[in-house]
A = this chain, B = another copy of it.
């Protein structure tokens, strides 16, 4: 039996893949799909996401994006989602109209030029646009936009629909999702052999942020689940269970409601030195993200975070001021020292990592599952836990 610790998009994707191969698997999470996956915008944007110093991340991202269409189709079928239009694979709102990265000042323009040159060297399709061309593609863009870079292959998806579909598919396959918190990994003779479930907390569990109170789903606290293998997919909380250099990177994100779509593709830009992006959903929602804050396990929505998002979104697309605010949440990304995820077995027998995805958890969830199935040995080397001395 494999036990997956963490029911976010990564843990659920790994569990689903294992279940499809007929492998016995259990997921443990006090509140599945409520952490970083719930806050994520769902950009599948390897090309526009990287800076030109991050070639390994770009390679991973491009490979990860390639897996998404088949992953989404199979998931929609397995979750028995109602069929949707060609632009929205199986109700997951998977769309691939590309990302438009825009520039306002001379510095931004120079950065886009450098990025374009880097992409072209790697044979990645990008298109350098003038301000006028940008506004022809996206008429709601601010008049002050001077130029842009279009990554036509970039895509995006609705992460809340993805995790809901994964949970539905797991249920249809009879996979047990234990709604409990793991208090520790159980070790026998130096090997991990299971997980111990936490006693139900007497007071609210501050550390879990927006997650509801841990519930043990009828199981007694302290109970041990035996496992042939434990897969640690606990995102920003992974470091609490094993020695892995993952830290929480807080992101605040806002959902606006638009009667007519303001944009047809993802738009991003750097405003007042901070990056902002706008992601349009099929249902008229417009996601504005995201702050990046290093504040430990803090998931409060703050006046300052909201202010930055609103200020920068207005600068990019002034028309957002008229939109209704539907939702504001904060989540914690699992950051690593080199911005690459940690995937695969470490030095401890019985323990496998699937964490540290930082801003790329949604994008890389299908690839992560594939790496754990042994399908991508070359990419697996980039994510190997062994690159960190401290890993157990």
Contacts and interface: CB of A to CB of B under 8 A. Distances in A.
Nearest to A310: B307
A321 interface: yes
A312 to B, nearest CB: 10
A256 B320 CA distance: 23
Number of copies: 2
A306 B308 CA distance: 11
A89 to B, nearest CB: 29
Q: Is the interface of A mostly helix, strand, loop or mixed?
A: helix
B321 A301 contact: no
Contact of A324 (B256, B302, B310, B322): B302
B306 A306 contact: yes
Nearest to A323: B303
Interface string A237-271: 00000000000000000101000000000000000
A161 interface: no
A96 B75 CA distance: 61
Contact of A303 (B300, B303, B304, B321): B321
A347 interface: no
A314 B307 contact: yes
A313 interface: yes
Given A306-B306, A307-B307, A301 B324 contact: yes
Contacts of A18: none
A330 to B, nearest CB: 10
A256 B310 contact: no
Interface string A286-322: 0000000000000011111011001101100000111
A293 to B, nearest CB: 11
Contact of A304 (B300, B304, B322): B322
Contacts of A254: 303
A325 interface: yes
B320 A303 contact: yes
Contact of A300 (B301, B306, B311, B324): B324
B310 A306 contact: yes
A211 interface: no
A304 B321 contact: yes
A328 interface: yes
A325 B311 contact: no
26 contacts: A254-B303, A256-B303, A300-B324, A301-B324, A301-B325, A302-B321, A302-B322, A302-B324, A303-B310, A303-B313, A303-B314, A303-B320, A303-B322, A303-B323, A303-B325, A304-B320, A304-B321, A304-B322, A306-B310, A306-B325, A307-B307, A307-B310, A307-B314, A307-B321, A310-B310, A311-B311
Which 8 pairs across A and B sit closest by C-beta, in order of nearness? Answer: A304-B321, A307-B310, A300-B324, A301-B325, A303-B320, A303-B323, A303-B321, A303-B310
